[in-house]
Amino acid sequence: MREGALAPVSPGSLRSRLSWWLAVQSFAGLGAVCLVGYLVTAAGFGARQDDALRQKEGILRHLLGSEEGHAASMPQGRHALDDFLAGHENFRLQVIGPDGQQVYPPAPDARPLAAWRELRFEVARAAAAPSQSAATLQVQLRMDVQPDDLLLGRLAATLVLAALAGTVVVSLGGFTLVHLGLAPVRQMAAQTRQLSATTLHQRLDGAGQPAELQPLVGQFNALLGRLEKAYAQMEGFNADVAHELCTPLATLLASNELALRKHGRYRGPQGGGEVAEVLSSNLEELHRLTGIVSDMLFLSQADRGARARRAPVASLAAVAAQVGDYHEAALQDAGFTLQVVGDAAGDFDVPLLHRALSNLIGNATRYAAPGSTVRVCITHLLGGGVQLVVENTGPDVDPQVLERLFGRFFRGDTARSHGQKNHGLGLAITDAIARMHGGRTVASSDGGVTRIGLQLSLAPVTGSP
Amino acid sequence: MQTRFFDNPGMKILLIEDEVKLAQYLCKGLTEAGHVVDVAHDGVDGLHLALQGDYAALVLDVMLPGIDGLSLLAALRKTRQTPVLMLTARVGVDDRVRGLQTGADDYLVKPFAFSELVARIEAIVRRGQAGVPAGQPAALLRLADLELDLLRRKATRAGQALALTAQEFLLLTLFLRRPGEVISRTEIASQVWDMNFDSETNVVEVAVRRLRSKMDVPFPAPLLHTIRGMGYVLEERAP
């Protein structure tokens, strides 16, 4: 989709484009070479034929001009011409007398030529005797060029085929070369694919890339660097803001609490008073602010790659039961039963798991159907790892809501009515705790059962986050 | 009625905090509670005072000009075992670990409630006196007509047995051990359930409400009171 957005009109692949161009170019080149070869050969053939005709012309002039040839119509003259033509089957001769009569050959040609080259000339016959008048003979000499034409035709066909075959061979070679030549581009594309929003520290490896791609790699890496820096700044900014708020908040909390204490009448309704009321309200809001600030600091720690401090845990079911005890009153109040299903052992950060599970159970308590059972299901994952899922029955959660569930400051619409306590960072923190354990959060909702939980890897994740 | 902060008032406390305003308020609060408070705004003065004076407890900020809190603590520990409560603005696990390794007795993450600070100071001082025989822990806790028998795990009020769950019994024990002391929700979660985080949920409120419905509501004079914005207190009030 994204590529489509960048290039609405697809220009096809670089490889096929280059291959096509190479094919067209090699065909044109080979075609030109073949054409020149053909034309030169054809011209050579023509010149040879002309030479042959002129050679015969000389002989004929001699024959027709001589005594024996005086009368081509005479049997002995005809015989001389027959002799001349014998052994030269590829020539045809026609002689027209001065009176326009064909004097040779006596009979019409039995085997007329299909293709010929013609030479016409006149032979002036001097009067041999005074009784005879001078006369001019029209001579038409034709040479059979069909074998040459056939040869030329075959040559042309061969050349065309050779050009085509040559084009195919060159194209295939070109295709392979282009494929090989573009290998660095493909390798770079593969490298780029491995980059994601969570791996900002990664860079493209420019080593072994051709010089043409080096500026691209450099530029891309510089962009990544800027992105990472901006991201770090943003994260740092969040952490700094939260951090800077801590001291003023501590001062405000202390001063409000002291003022309320000094008022001395914060105990009991009789002592109320307007100022005490305002101070109490301030304190409540300050505690809420404190909660948000410390949650944000927690999240920024997780974002910066803080890891869970793992210690052996014999039974995750016991941990879940402990959190269940914490929620016991609230669960009973809403008429829920809590059930822990399954168990697992491993190295985990128990205080963090307390917090994650508490958030999950709290969330389930908000959405579960009245009187239903909330289940904490602990299962081993196939690929190694443990899954902790809190399952409750209730109306299905919109898939779009499920997607954003672990986002920061996200609250489902119905949750807004649940008062000030919930500022929408609980599940984001659960997500952070999953990440700190090298895991992730999972959420599904169908058939009236909503399952939200976290998957934890059993071994601490080594290397950078 | 005198506000009661400490089991043993009149302690000498050294507060080392560079934020002048916060230091002022903390000093004021502790002084009002009847303690003698010395304040230092930087590490050098702080260390000097800590080594010279004889304090029952130290409240020490991690980030200090001069000598930072951790170095100060390390220097102090060479000669003194004064209980130290560290104040840290960071939630970084490193600070926590380093602070406790360097010899802090407890830490408190800014921002904190004043009552939380008071509770923590008291706790580290008490822990410091653990060597001194403090008498047997009472097996029977009593306030007004409310009685808790820790050995038999029985609670009665005005002679009537209260049907408490295990969690409710623990919660009531916490209140009865520290009568008249305001206890925050965070501390309740930590002390009763070992849940050491600020929770978005209202589970503590619900737990207190359910406890109250059993030990307070059926009786004429309520003992467990809500202090808005601060927490809860168990005490007998004049009608």
| A21/A161 same-domain check | yes
Q: Which DSSP symbol is given to B49?
A: H
In three-state secondary structure terms, A347 is strand
Flag if A243 and B89 touch (Cβ within 8 Å): yes
* Residue of chain B whose Cα is closest to the Cα of A326: B193
Return the domain boundaries, chain B: 12-128, 140-234
Distance from the Cα of A446 to chain B's closest Cα (Å) equals: 26
B185 CB-near residues (< 8 Å, 6+ apart): B199, B204, B205, B231, B232
Instruction: Determine the pLDDT at residue A450.
Output: 92
Region A45-59: what's the mean pLDDT?
Answer: 90
Instruction: Determine the pLDDT at residue B206.
Output: 92
Q: For residue A199, what pLDDT band results from cuts at 50, 70 and 90? A: low
| A385/A291 same-domain check | no
Q: Which one, of B111, B102, B119, B117, lies nearest residue B67 by Cα?
A: B102
Q: Is A355 on the interface with B (CB under 8 A)?
A: yes
Pairing of the two strands A337-341 and A373-380: parallel
Instruction: Determine the pLDDT at residue B99.
Output: 60
Q: Does A24 have pLDDT greater than 70?
A: yes
Residue type, A205: D
Which residue among B22, B29, B91 sits closest to A298, beta carbon to beta carbon?
A: B91
Distance from the Cα of B112 to chain A's closest Cα (Å) equals: 6
Distance from the Cα of B111 to chain A's closest Cα (Å) equals: 4
Q: Which one, of A135, A144, A79, lies nearest residue A105 by Cα?
A: A79
Range from A130-139, A222-231, A395-404, B107-116 carrying the lowest mean pLDDT: A130-139
Instruction: Determine the pLDDT at residue A8.
Output: 42
Note whether A340 and A324 are within 8 A (CB). Answer: yes
Q: Does B135 have pLDDT greater than 60?
A: no
Domain with A234 in it: 214-303
CA dihedral A283, A284, A289, A294 (to 10 degrees): 90
Q: Which DSSP symbol is given to A129?
A: S
Q: Does B127 have pLDDT greater than 60?
A: yes
Instruction: Determine the pLDDT at residue A464.
Output: 41
Distance, in Å, from the CA atom of B77 to the CA atom of B79, rounded to the nearest integer, reads 5
Tell me the pLDDT tens digit for each residue of A333-392.
889 999 999 999 999 999 899 999 999 999 898 888 888 999 999 999 988 889 999 999
Distance of CA A177 to the CA centre of its chain: 20
Residue A439, domain member (yes or no): yes
| A223/A164 same-domain check | no
Region A404-416: what's the mean pLDDT?
Answer: 71
Q: Which one, of A356, A359, A365, lies nearest residue A328 by Cα?
A: A365
Region A168-184: what's the mean pLDDT?
Answer: 88
What percentage of chain A carries pLDDT values higher than 70?
Answer: 86
| A158/A238 same-domain check | no
User: Chain B residues with CB inside 8 Å of A290's CB?
Assistant: 111, 198
Query: Where on the phi/psi map is residue A7: left (φ > 0), alpha (ψ -120 to 50), or beta?
Result: beta
Which residue among B110, B167, B229 sits closest to A328, beta carbon to beta carbon?
A: B167
Range from A166-175, A453-462, B89-98 carrying the lowest mean pLDDT: B89-98
Q: Which DSSP symbol is given to A50?
A: H
Distance, in Å, from the CA atom of A251 to the CA atom of B26, rounded to the nearest integer, reads 8
Which CATH superfamily hosts domain B12-128? Response regulator (3.40.50.2300)
Q: For residue A161, what pLDDT band results from cuts at 50, 70 and 90? A: very high
* Residue of chain B whose Cα is closest to the Cα of A252: B22
Residue A464, domain member (yes or no): no
Residue A238, domain member (yes or no): yes
Region A207-216: what's the mean pLDDT?
Answer: 84
| A299/A321 same-domain check | no
Residue type, B39: V
Region B141-160: what's the mean pLDDT?
Answer: 89
- Contacting A residues, span 271-330, partner chain B, CB-CB under 8 Å: 279-284, 286-287, 290-291, 293-295, 297-298, 301, 306, 309, 322-323, 325-330
Q: Does B67 have pLDDT greater than 70?
A: yes
Tell me the pLDDT tens digit for each residue of B196-215.
887 777 899 999 999 999 99
Q: Does B32 have pLDDT greater than 60?
A: yes
Which residue among A247, A282, A309 sits closest to B93, beta carbon to beta carbon?
A: A309
Query: The CATH number of the domain where A233 resides is what?
Result: 1.10.287
Mean residue pLDDT of chain A comes to 82
Residue A187, domain member (yes or no): no
| A374/A443 same-domain check | yes
Query: The CATH number of the domain where A322 resides is what?
Result: 3.30.565.10
Residue A193, domain member (yes or no): no
Instruction: Determine the pLDDT at residue A206.
Output: 78
Instruction: Determine the pLDDT at residue A130.
Output: 58
User: Chain A residues with CB inside 8 Å of B165's CB?
Assistant: 328
| A349/A444 same-domain check | yes
Q: Which DSSP symbol is given to A52?
A: H
Instruction: Determine the pLDDT at residue A338.
Output: 92
Instruction: Determine the pLDDT at residue A1.
Output: 40
Note whether A413 and A422 are within 8 A (CB). Answer: no
Q: For residue A261, what pLDDT band results from cuts at 50, 70 and 90? A: confident
Flag if B111 and A253 touch (Cβ within 8 Å): yes
| A319/A253 same-domain check | no
Q: For residue A234, what pLDDT band results from cuts at 50, 70 and 90? A: confident
Which residue among B1, B111, B233 sits closest to A249, beta carbon to beta carbon?
A: B111
Residue type, B82: T
Residue A365, domain member (yes or no): yes
User: Chain A residues with CB inside 8 Å of B91's CB?
Assistant: 294, 297-298, 301
Distance from the Cα of A279 to chain B's closest Cα (Å) equals: 8
- How many A/B residue pairs have CB atoms within 8 Å? 163
Q: What's the CATH number for B140-234?
A: 1.10.10.10
Sign for the CA dihedral angle at A292, A297, A300, A305 comes to negative
Q: Does B193 have pLDDT greater than 50?
A: yes
| A49/A93 same-domain check | yes
Which residue among B25, B193, B225 sits closest to A251, beta carbon to beta carbon?
A: B25
Q: Does A104 have pLDDT greater than 70?
A: yes
Q: Does A14 have pLDDT greater than 50?
A: yes
Residue A339, domain member (yes or no): yes
A104 vs B82 pLDDT, higher one = B82
Residue A175, domain member (yes or no): no
Q: Is A266 on the interface with B (CB under 8 A)?
A: yes
Q: Which DSSP symbol is given to B183?
A: B
| A320/A448 same-domain check | yes
Tell me the pLDDT tens digit for each residue of A61-103.
888 877 655 555 566 677 878 888 887 888 888 888 777 778 7
Alpha carbon distance, N-terminus to C-terminus of chain B = 13
Distance, in Å, from the CA atom of A183 to the CA atom of B94, rounded to the nearest integer, reads 47
Say how many domains are in chain A. Answer: 3
Range from A4-13, A32-41, A402-411, B134-143 carrying the lowest mean pLDDT: A4-13
